[in-house]
Structure 1
Amino acid sequence: MRAPAPALYSAAGSLLLTALVAAPAGGAPAAPGAAELRGTATAAARAQAEGIAFGRCAAVEDLPADVQCGTVSVPLDYAHPDGKLIKLTVSRVRATHKDPNNSKRRVPRQGALVYNPGGPGGSGMYFPLIGVVPEWKRLAAAYDLVGYAPRGVGRSAPLSCQDPKHFYKAPSQAPTHPSESYKRERIAEAKAYARGCAKRAGSALRHYTSLNNARDLDVLRAALGEERLTFMGASYGTYFGALYATLFPSHVRRMVFDSAVNPDPAQIWYRNNLDQSAAFEGRWADFRDWIARHDDVYGLGDTAERVQRSYDRAAARLAEEPAGGKVGPGQLQGAFLTAGYYDDYWPHRAEALSKYLKGDPKPLIQQAGPHPEAAKEAENGNAVYTAVECNDASWPTDFEVWDRDNTRLARVAPFETWDNVWMNLPCAYWPAPRQEPLDVRTGPGELPPTLILAAERDAATPYDGALKLHRRLWGSVLVTERDAGTHGIAGGPNPCVNGHVDAYLLEGTLPVRRAACAPHPEPEPREHTRKKSAVPPTV
């Protein structure tokens, strides 16, 4: 399920552990995952004893001096905790103790707040910097803000599946109704990428999974000296956060699930991606409606249909002559896909499209063009994304199934459907063993109350996922941002949402079962792009 990291605004439980890992009487084999649970307990005890030696961050992290960095060792394979270890990089800014509303009041520390931005493949190393943002200052006063790079990401046993120099292919096409020859070409690329993952990672490839991400989180908790975990996960981070809540419910203090993935095992991950493609069509329509309402600014059409025609005209022109030699229809689609995640991108993307159609390609090249200097990081993120999702569950191995399902879907949701296919198709040819997804579910009294956040029109993690997670985590509370679609809403522009987050993380206070917030204001168009009536647009 493709979901880029949201903008940053964007010894307890031993009885449960024993019950889960003890072999049944009569010599019957232990339950699946028992060895991994024992291994997690071993690794967590070791990490608790060792702690994390925080100090100056490595230059490669490009973090300011007030951020501290360290590492925590986790088993590559939790079934063998004394075997090969890998190191995860961790970043931290200590609690400020400063009440932003009362300079004379010293705020007591509540512990560490660990954050994951999603992906799979996203790094949280920059998260501690968020404490200077006004919406986060109250949390930064009470908590050490802790980010980390999950296994495979950045310097945490980095994973790669191909030479980053070959990762960006620009300009590229983005056909909404691909030809048979184009499909064959993409199938060959998917097979090559899967082979590359196996060749570069070897036997370690099978250990990049969501379950291991959840186990790593418990080892990190112990290394931080936290008896119970306070965690905020966004997007994909909600999924392995939910796995953590299921595996280690008595290790949970407070958890925020921001823009929740549907955790139903039947949805992981093939069907979740189909649902995502369908939802993006609705969000693309929202964006086009917004552009149409500001036709006096952008001149792209006063209806969603006319805006679509402007977009199609730009894509056709880019197919004939890529902007700057590197922005084709594929890059255009990628840039506008990000606008489906975050509506604060809308003015910039609309301005770039408008200016391109009027003869100025510079903004579009700047926003949509590939950045070779970031190729290594991008390929690393893509490799981790691919490995985790392919390892997590079974995928159709016959392309005819993908072709049938997505051809049908593309008739009503052409915007993202085929791009999502090509992103995930290596999973059809994956060389590593597949896991059975854990059934995320907790019963009465097993888990402390948790907070789920969801925007009603979120495309990356459709709203139904939040409803499913809410039903599966006993005692959870769902806060919905109505008629809004930004992906990742904690600490954003909605004070109602932020009020619920602060009340929960600072005071442990939650609504009874559900709450709703009015949508945050839509973005304002960029005024300097407003049309001059005396100068008709050039097309």
Structure 2
Amino acid sequence: MRAAVRHSAAGASAAALLLTTLAAAPAGSATGGPGAAGPPSRPAAELRGTAVAAARAGAAGIEFGRCSEAQDMPGSMQCGTVTVPLDYARPDGRKIRLTVSRVRATQRDPLNSKRKVPRQGALVFNPGGPGSSGFYFPLMGLMPEWKRLAAAYDLVGYAPRGVGRSAPLSCQDPKRYFKGPSPAPTHPSESYKRERIARARAYARGCAERNGSALRHYHSLNNARDLDVLRAALGESRLTFMGASYGTYFGALYAAMFPSHVRRMVFDSPVNPDPERIWYRNNLAQSAAFEDRWTDFREWIARHDNVYGLGNTAAKVLRSYERARARLSAEPAGGEVGPGQLQGAFLQAGYYDDFWPLRAEALSAYLEGDPQLLVDVAGPVREAAAEAENSAAVYSAVECNDAPWPRDWRVWDRDNTRLARAAPFETWDNVWANLPCAYWPAPPQRVLDVRTGPGELPPLLILSAERDAAAPYEGALELHRRLAGSVLVTERDAGSHGVAGGPNRCVNAYLEAYLLEGRTPGRRAACAGRAEPVPSPSE
């Protein structure tokens, strides 16, 4: 049986929503209303287009039904789509559909199954990226840490524009995405730099050729507008949202653009929203922060030298790692894992310390003569090539479209050569991931200055780990300063990227108190970091 989420009195709701959104236009913005001189500005047209699209989505709702067999979802999960304009300045033009997933609130207290809890509406989640999908988020309700939230909220996930089945982007043939073993020089030669410049130019050109004029419409401002259309389609007058990593950026844009539509928002591991940092300087800061996390990881390995035998100091562990790099450069493991793949696997350990034991074990086994575990950990998963290529294409489109990037290679070369002297681990790999933005064919968007005054928003919750490398802690401090009335909870001496609903009970208590009761601890609070991972000895 197919169910639909709809507004009551859909026609009246649509008209009210249109008037409310137009009334929320920033002071001094062009509205193009009666008496306006000349055609409306593009921001005003996009504002009106968002109101029109939200009104239509509110009237139509989302027809949730069984997920397709290909998605192989549990019966409790329902799937549907919401229609949004490709270009919000032209709401009657080309449309795209975003895939949406939902698990209804159980309304049963996990501590007392006989006690029914009140439903609080929909909790919408985005995991970041750009390029990641939140489609499977509703299944988190099966985890013990999420059961209380799943009792009160419909858990809603979706694939943002460009991702997965939501008008997917592609910049190259997925069959060519995994290119086999690759180098990862920490101090690249001039000839290698020229090779990577040529590849970046070709990649940007491929994005333009494969997507045409639509490419320019994949950016964070439109992701925020899409979120408001999704809110309306779900029948929610105000949004309850949790964003992680990049999801905090367009979530913050949403809060600044649609403050009257905000109910509760959680920003988990936020990126720095300062317009001067989007995105070039944020990537420089990220490279510097990963050097510290790489040191954390090596120090942990050194403390467990009796297990891994990679050295009893961080410096000795680094020598073991460099020895593996040299050996992989001469002969890739399994014909597929070179220094680049090794670096990628160990970069993942900078995101999540749960990854530390397996990667340390793989490095140890490889240096002892058994490469198989390293191949399993670091080798390409070719079955996922299309998904990986799509994610990379969306990442490039959003970050390149969002803001101006240096167009002169000499700027990149100067800044990163200097940075790599102190932070060699990720610096150049980060450059190659973002260099297509130097040659991007679409014009950049205006960068919104995220800033709200007292009383403009309800309290918002910010969660951050103090040693997060993917989204350095200074970003959480900056977001906290910019969103008046926000509350910052810090996980001390911890560095995993994403802290909500994880193993830290203190963090989860603040999260539940906020989402279930609207309670916050004041301006700031802190939680002790989680326990270090337990080493896993090789068998």
Q: TM-score, structure 1 length as denominator?
A: 0.95
Instruction: Give the aligned CA root-mean-square deviation in angstroms.
Output: 1.3
What CA distance in whole angstroms lies between the structure 2 residues aligned with 1:260 and 1:237?
A: 8
2:5 corresponding residue in structure 1? none
**Is the CA contact 1:339–1:346 (under 8 Å) kept in the aligned structure 2?**
yes
Q: 2:176 aligns with which of 135, 145, 166?
A: 166
1:518 corresponding residue in structure 2? 528
Q: Shift of residue 437 of structure 1? A: 0.9
AA in 1 matched with 2:31 = A
Q: 1:16 aligns with which of 13, 24, 27?
A: 24
SS of match in other structure, 2:70: helix
AA in 1 matched with 2:24 = L
Q: 2:448 aligns with which of 438, 446, 449?
A: 438
1:392 corresponding residue in structure 2? 402
After TM superposition, what 4+ stretches of structure 1 lie above 6 angstroms from structure 2?
Answer: none
**Is the CA contact 1:176–1:418 (under 8 Å) kept in the aligned structure 2?**
yes
2:4 corresponding residue in structure 1? none
AA in 2 matched with 1:514 = R
Q: Is 1:198 equivalent to 2:238 in the alignment?
A: no
Q: Is 1:140 equivalent to 2:141 in the alignment?
A: no
1:5 corresponding residue in structure 2? none
1:378 corresponding residue in structure 2? 388
1:251 corresponding residue in structure 2? 261
1:536 corresponding residue in structure 2? none
**Is the CA contact 1:21–1:37 (under 8 Å) kept in the aligned structure 2?**
no
2:479 corresponding residue in structure 1? 469
String of CA shifts for 1:486-512, please: whole Å, max 9, x gaps. Answer: 000000110010000000000000011
AA in 1 matched with 2:500 = A
Q: 1:520-539 maps to which residues of 2 (within 5 A)?
A: 520-528=530-538
Q: 2:111 aligns with which of 95, 101, 110?
A: 101
Q: Shift of residue 103 of structure 1? A: 1.7
AA in 2 matched with 1:279 = A
Q: Shift of residue 21 of structure 1? A: 5.5
SS of match in other structure, 1:265: coil
What CA distance in whole angstroms lies between the structure 2 residues aligned with 1:30 and 1:247?
A: 18
Which is bigger in relative contact order (C-alpha 8 A, separation at least 6)?
1
Distance 1:267 1:193, change over 3 A: same
2:10 corresponding residue in structure 1? none
Q: 2:307 aligns with which of 294, 297, 307?
A: 297
SS of match in other structure, 1:122: coil
Q: 2:298 aligns with which of 285, 288, 304?
A: 288
AA in 1 matched with 2:299 = D
SS of match in other structure, 2:178: coil
Matched residue count: 519
What CA distance in whole angstroms lies between the structure 1 residues aligned with 2:57 and 2:30?
A: 20
Q: TM-score, structure 2 length as denominator?
A: 0.95
Q: Is 1:117 equivalent to 2:127 in the alignment?
A: yes
SS of match in other structure, 1:334: helix
Q: Shift of residue 424 of structure 1? A: 0.2
What CA distance in whole angstroms lies between the structure 1 residues aligned with 2:475 and 2:330?
A: 40
What CA distance in whole angstroms lies between the structure 1 residues aligned with 2:384 and 2:360?
A: 24
Q: Shift of residue 445 of structure 1? A: 1.2
**Is the CA contact 2:361–2:538 (under 8 Å) kept in the aligned structure 1?**
no
Worse overlay, 14-23 or 49-58 = 14-23
What CA distance in whole angstroms lies between the structure 2 residues aligned with 1:238 and 1:359?
A: 44
Gaps of 5+ in 1: 1-10, 530-539
1:533 corresponding residue in structure 2? none
Q: Shift of residue 17 of structure 1? A: 3.8
Q: Shift of residue 26 of structure 1? A: 6.1
String of CA shifts for 1:193-243, please: whole Å, max 9, x gaps. Answer: 000000010000000000000000000000000010000000000000000
1:422 corresponding residue in structure 2? 432
**Is the CA contact 2:42–2:89 (under 8 Å) kept in the aligned structure 1?**
no
Gaps of 5+ in 2: 1-15
**Is the CA contact 1:21–1:38 (under 8 Å) kept in the aligned structure 2?**
no
Q: Shift of residue 435 of structure 1? A: 1.2
Identical aligned pairs, as a percentage?
76
AA in 2 matched with 1:458 = D
